[in-house]
Structure 1
């Protein structure tokens, strides 16, 4: 069914951590759940709909980011593990170059790579307990079930310490100036890292327990396992290409992401409600694509412009239908059951609604205050053909004399 929705001749576009973080931020958007779950290329679909997206990273940013990541992981990851030790585990023994393990994670297909990653994590815990070794997993592949569809995720790195703890490392190309970075970019990185931590926790639950874990207090929550809820964010220091790092606590993002992903409607349920023969293949005629997209409910908000390729299309449709969501989620939440601008204006003008409703009373009060403010401004405004005041005329005469 999903292949038919996507287009049988098209390969599925895999879900990544950015997409999952965006889904978690807007779980009520069934349109995105279905399109992402079916692997639809939303950028190509947006272009076919006549609303091309400017969403995504520039080629320059990608090249710069890859170069910085290679520098951070050079020399077998010695500098990266030094940063992990300094920021995440300062009380443990520092990693020596000869104790750093970098296992090969290559395998056939995503299923093979996820299985190889799980095996490497188990082997890393054993090596740490027996030899005090640190393990660096470079671009491991993790799997996470999202609304009944598997998503394969590839963090920049995962470090396994000798004490058996797992730490997610996020390497970004935006600068860290005087020890701090842009809060919006750090927040986006934290939400992305929360998805990786959720996937790692799922791997940890599937691994067989260590022999000493069958008795006694484990010292941490059972569902947390060995995964740190602090991640290491590595960025260029100031305006150089030298790496700087900070520990980021993602417990809040982790709880929100877990809750929001659990709220997503399963893809099969959304697809079952669609008309027969519907398809989102970008090669279909534009009229068919408009009808197909319109058949799936969306939940547009201005924040979608920074996270979804279909945002321009959804914004245009939302504005055409007068939906209050175009004004932002906070405004939408304040308006209760009123979903369109037409309804809001009718309530404010007294054409419908009861003042027993707090929302109706607030809207009418706001309209009355606006009318008072406009009346006061009009009363103090000079008439269009009124003569200048004496002070103004004197000032003009003096200016002319000086000239």
Structure 2
């Protein structure tokens, strides 16, 4: 389904998407990296990953045409180009925006890395081109980590292609991350080891529920077409369970709709998965408040006991300030109350 259109039809449009400025800047930087037949890109690959190989010579780099009809056609054309390049030793080959396929929960997902380089020894390297800068040789760890996880998926897809070839080539564990140098638009690169990300992604893919099993759990007759009347569409979406968490805002177009539903239901998952885990069997905010007030919950439950203690300390703290100004309340008794709430020795308020 088109989740962006679905979110708009539900009245909770998503705000995802790269800004036009960032999109234009990223395209311009990638074009610069791949200019002159990818000469600069291959120079960086040789410098960072394969100094033992002969340097790529201008005009002798093979860049096959990967155009074909549809993603399936492009995937087949990419596999053929990789086979031909691997069977031509001593030649550098640059595949610009190849198309790869990876089985995800029983369905093919089509992937398009920025580039794949075939080395003279027949090994393959994934190249990721990003527009965030490398400042003094280092970059934002969160952005580098995200790029490494993205590249690890491409590595898995390449390994699936390699497994079908007669002479299995080596898919390198280190990818090349190309970024602008400092505050310029000059490309620089760093080799990033993605073995950990590849192993984690492989385990996650193996544990995914198959899409057919998910489809079988959808109520009979449910339809998610944005063309449906608002009431019917809302009912269809609400017939499928959702577990909203704040992390969804960064990954799902329906996050705003699910957040509204979660708040209406009073679900504690809207406060975050870590809070949900700490609260154990208390699934709603009302359950949490009732447990804190001593109106519900098992006193032997650690979560309930902690909530009641926090509620008691809060009442004591508010009682300490009753009828007095904050300055008057900021004495030893007030400090001691909040020290107990934080489980540490209280220091006098300045």
Question: 1:365, CA displacement in angstroms?
Answer: 2.8
1:277-356 matches, within 5 Å, as 277-356=221-300
Indicate the SS of the match to 2:87. helix
> For 1:126, which of 87, 102, 106 is the aligned residue?
87
2:144 alignment partner in structure 1: 186
Distance in 1 between the 2:54 and 2:159 partners? 25
Question: 1:371, CA displacement in angstroms?
Answer: 3.1
Distance in 2 between the 1:348 and 1:379 partners? 25
> For 1:158, which of 97, 113, 116 is the aligned residue?
116
1:116 alignment partner in structure 2: 77
1:58-73 matches, within 5 Å, as 58-73=19-34
Distance 1:98 1:372, change over 3 A: same
Distance 1:373 1:93, change over 3 A: farther
Indicate the SS of the match to 1:269. helix
Distance in 2 between the 1:255 and 1:379 partners? 60
2:13 alignment partner in structure 1: 52
Distance in 2 between the 1:261 and 1:154 partners? 18
Deviation string for 1:219-275 (max 9, x for gaps)?
xxxxxx612222211111122111111122222322222222322222222222223
Question: 1:89, CA displacement in angstroms?
Answer: 2.6
Would you say 1:273 and 2:210 are equivalent positions?
no
2:57 alignment partner in structure 1: 96
1:400 alignment partner in structure 2: none
Distance in 1 between the 2:239 and 2:208 partners? 18
Question: 1:378, CA displacement in angstroms?
Answer: 4.4
Question: 1:363, CA displacement in angstroms?
Answer: 2.4
Distance in 2 between the 1:175 and 1:92 partners? 28
> For 2:165, which of 203, 207, 223 is the aligned residue?
207
Question: 1:75, CA displacement in angstroms?
Answer: 1.0
Distance in 2 between the 1:256 and 1:351 partners? 43
Compute the TM-score of the two structures, normalised by the length of structure 2: 0.87
1:83 alignment partner in structure 2: 44
Question: 1:206, CA displacement in angstroms?
Answer: 2.0
CA RMSD of aligned residues (A): 2.1
Question: 1:143, CA displacement in angstroms?
Answer: 0.6
Indicate the SS of the match to 2:101. strand
1:223-302 matches, within 5 Å, as 226-302=170-246
Indicate the SS of the match to 1:97. coil
Unaligned runs of 5+ residues in structure 1 are: 1-39, 211-224, 385-403
Question: 1:150, CA displacement in angstroms?
Answer: 1.3
Distance 1:155 1:383, change over 3 A: closer
Distance in 1 between the 2:200 and 2:232 partners? 36
Question: 1:98, CA displacement in angstroms?
Answer: 4.2
Question: 1:62, CA displacement in angstroms?
Answer: 1.7
Question: 1:73, CA displacement in angstroms?
Answer: 0.5
1:373 alignment partner in structure 2: 317
Question: 1:320, CA displacement in angstroms?
Answer: 1.0
Unaligned runs of 5+ residues in structure 2 are: 329-350
Distance in 2 between the 1:333 and 1:88 partners? 43
Indicate the SS of the match to 2:88. helix
After TM superposition, the structure 1 stretch with the greater mean CA deviation from structure 2, 296-305 or 64-73, is 296-305
Aligned pairs, number: 328
Distance 1:202 1:369, change over 3 A: farther
Question: 1:379, CA displacement in angstroms?
Answer: 7.5
Question: 1:299, CA displacement in angstroms?
Answer: 2.4
Distance in 2 between the 1:370 and 1:85 partners? 63
